[in-house]
Structure 1
Amino acid sequence: MEIRPVLGKREHPVYDNDYSINTGAIIALFNDVSRWIDNQSPGGIIYGKPRLGKTKAIACITKLLRKEYNPDLPIFQLNMTFHKLNEKRFYEQFLNDIGNAFAAKGTTFEKKERLINYLLNSAREANSKKIILFIDEANYLEEKEYSWLMDIYNRLMINGIHMTTLLVGTSEVLVAKQVFIKHKLQQLVGRFMVQEHHFHGVREVKDLQICLVSYDSLLKYPLGSEWTYTRYFFPEAYRNGYRLANDAELIFDCFEKFNQELNLTGKLDIPMQYIILAINICLKDYGADKACLDRPGLKEWKASIVNAGYLQAERTNLQIEKS
């Protein structure tokens, strides 16, 4: 029998949540985004509830796009905040986010030119006619910032480079789209908001099964070994045929019952953040590193979901909605 690897304390990626998985929602998003790129759409909106895993999805989609199109495909991410930005600070933040070492130097015009040249050079070095720009927390964008982005888009187009801008945020981005339509700002809508994708969490047992299968067969550590995450934390049960995916219905039922306790109505849509946290907690607390249970049961999954903060977060959301 193969001996379980000896790792340093907290070395396993589960301890720092330092890994990613391709969920059904991520694959659906990738299919839409790749179609937008193929059709040379200038932009689209990716929206969903908070904590669904949209930010982490950007990293997953980036890997999939580079695998599909070009390993060096220029893909950048701009992270918006609620802070108001003037034009100079906007270009500086953009340069910072894409890794330019001289972001703080120069006038507004110099920063803008440096940014555009950086984007152009990135495309040329990758032998690409495409640039993909994700804007996370896009609900914080204002009309003036869209106009600055449009200038960048136009300059790139003049130089033969097509930029697809993907606005990632909450449904507030859709509200902004309707405001722009109402005020006849078709140029902004046409540049950035033509396409829409509703990003969701785990809605059905099969969604959860897809997620859990990654732990059973795809995610492995140490790298290059055959020690899947499930096998590493529950080695004896794994040897006897146990897989986390076996518990998909049980885990989903736990979330449903918690929602009923909170009097939450409507279709279940579990944020990936709490799914991943609950799985991490279950592996760490009840697996071979700590409690050494053969396998988790109902009690352990319920405790893991509670400790992941799901109930507290949903209670807070209810308070906000009622206030």
Structure 2
Amino acid sequence: MSLEIPRPVDPSLHPLMTGNYRIATPAIEEFYGLVARCLRYRVTGALTYGPSRIGKTRAIEYVRLLIARNYPRMTSYHAQCEHKPRHAEGPFFANLLEAVGDPDPNAGSNTSKRMRLALRIREAAARAGSGVVLLFCDEAQRYDDNEYEWLRDVHDTLDRQQIKLFTFLVGQQELLAQKTALQVAGKTQIVARLMVEDLAFYGIRNAQDVATCLNGYDQTAYPERSHWSFTRFYVPQAFDAGYRLVNDAGKLWEAFEAAHHKASLPGQLEIPMESFARAVEIVLKDSELRDARGYGPETVLWQHAVRHCGYVQSRHATGRVLASAA
């Protein structure tokens, strides 16, 4: 039986159990392409927008991992923009100070917070040996015009200190509307610094996208550089006999399609990464007990996984169509 085959690490520590892993989707690859292009062409700001719960936060984390690997001398931060009843300077800078690791982000006056933010970023850039820093602002549609102005001030301050800050605003569709409103209002200095390019983020939209993501489970190894891909970790006998999750891309897509239509959900099928990952995890965990040479998950197991992955439930809960702008 599969469970009797020794694994290189305790199964309870595997990323599939802890949830601490990221798989690339075509949309994430496009997002990384946008970031790399901005770095190459010195474009200091871009925005990425899409429906809620489609996987944008996971995308930020994945892109930051790629940046750390491909640009080891660059520092990146992930700021979670907070919902605030009023938009005050103090909480804005405290939020950014928390993102850059300041030990006491709420301490001091607004002026001292501004100065400390620039200092923390400058120190990190010096440690990394590069004058380039990336800031990802998640749920950025929560910012108002004043906060964009303060963010532009941070850019200008760092610019004078020979540090180039690249800001990537990530949020819901309202973010694109904010860009348009700023352009109409003539606030082109904000757009030119923070919103030069824009990218529509989307979920998993067809069987080919499903195959791309499933291939990630077949190829990603844990521990790194071992022969234990995520798929092999759970079904080693089937894997060694040739089974790959990517073989079942059609089955999984059809199971989501059937669930989408059965629930009479509006719009085209577009699978959020959270629901997709949960479905794959259900199949791998349930397959572990059935592993054997020649084993492959049956269609009914994929259907079971889709029923329990939260896709239909979350769509009913939000009542929103997950169709991105083209």
What is the TM-score when the length of structure 2 is the normalising length? 0.90
- Aligned pair count? 317
| Structure-1 residue corresponding to 2:230 | 229
CA distance in 1 between partners of 2:144 and 2:107 (Å): 24
Structure 1 residues 151, 6: CA separation in 2 closer, same or farther (over 3 Å shift)? Answer: closer
1:167-189 Cα shifts (integer Å, max 9, x gaps): 00111101111221222211112
| Structure-1 residue corresponding to 2:246 | 245
Task: Output the amino acid matched with 1:230.
Answer: T
Task: Name which of structure 1's ranges 6-15 and 170-179 shifts more when overlaid on structure 2.
Answer: 6-15
CA distance in 2 between partners of 1:215 and 1:149 (Å): 38
Task: Name which of structure 1's ranges 121-130 and 268-277 shifts more when overlaid on structure 2.
Answer: 121-130
The answer on whether the counterparts of 2:232 and 2:239 sit within 8 Å (CA) in structure 1 is: yes
How do 1:158-173 and structure 2 match up within 5 A? 158-173=160-175
| Structure-1 residue corresponding to 2:198 | 196
CA distance in 1 between partners of 2:133 and 2:251 (Å): 43
- Equivalent residue for 2:26, pick from 3, 24, 27: 24
- Is 2:303 the partner of 1:302? yes
What is the TM-score when the length of structure 1 is the normalising length? 0.91
Structure 2 counterpart SS, 1:10: helix
How do 1:205-224 and structure 2 match up within 5 A? 205-216=207-218, 218-224=219-225
| Structure-2 residue corresponding to 1:287 | 287
CA distance in 1 between partners of 2:303 and 2:174 (Å): 33
Structure 2 counterpart SS, 1:28: helix
Gaps of at least 5 residues in structure 1 are: none
The answer on whether the counterparts of 1:234 and 1:295 sit within 8 Å (CA) in structure 2 is: no
1:103-161 Cα shifts (integer Å, max 9, x gaps): 23211111111111111222233232321110001011111111111111111112222
Structure 1 residues 94, 124: CA separation in 2 closer, same or farther (over 3 Å shift)? Answer: same
Structure 1 residues 64, 12: CA separation in 2 closer, same or farther (over 3 Å shift)? Answer: closer
Gaps of at least 5 residues in structure 2 are: none
The answer on whether the counterparts of 2:237 and 2:291 sit within 8 Å (CA) in structure 1 is: no
Task: Output the amino acid matched with 2:68.
Answer: R
1:185-225 Cα shifts (integer Å, max 9, x gaps): 11112221120011111112121111111211x22234553
CA distance in 2 between partners of 1:21 and 1:81 (Å): 26
**Identity of matched residues, %:** 31
The answer on whether the counterparts of 1:92 and 1:104 sit within 8 Å (CA) in structure 2 is: yes
- Equivalent residue for 2:113, pick from 111, 115, 128: 111
Q: CA deviation at 1:229?
A: 1.8
Q: CA deviation at 1:283?
A: 1.2
CA distance in 1 between partners of 2:224 and 2:55 (Å): 25
Structure 2 counterpart SS, 1:287: helix
CA distance in 1 between partners of 2:17 and 2:130 (Å): 38
Structure 2 counterpart SS, 1:196: strand
Structure 2 counterpart SS, 1:66: helix
The answer on whether the counterparts of 1:52 and 1:271 sit within 8 Å (CA) in structure 2 is: yes
CA distance in 1 between partners of 2:119 and 2:14 (Å): 41
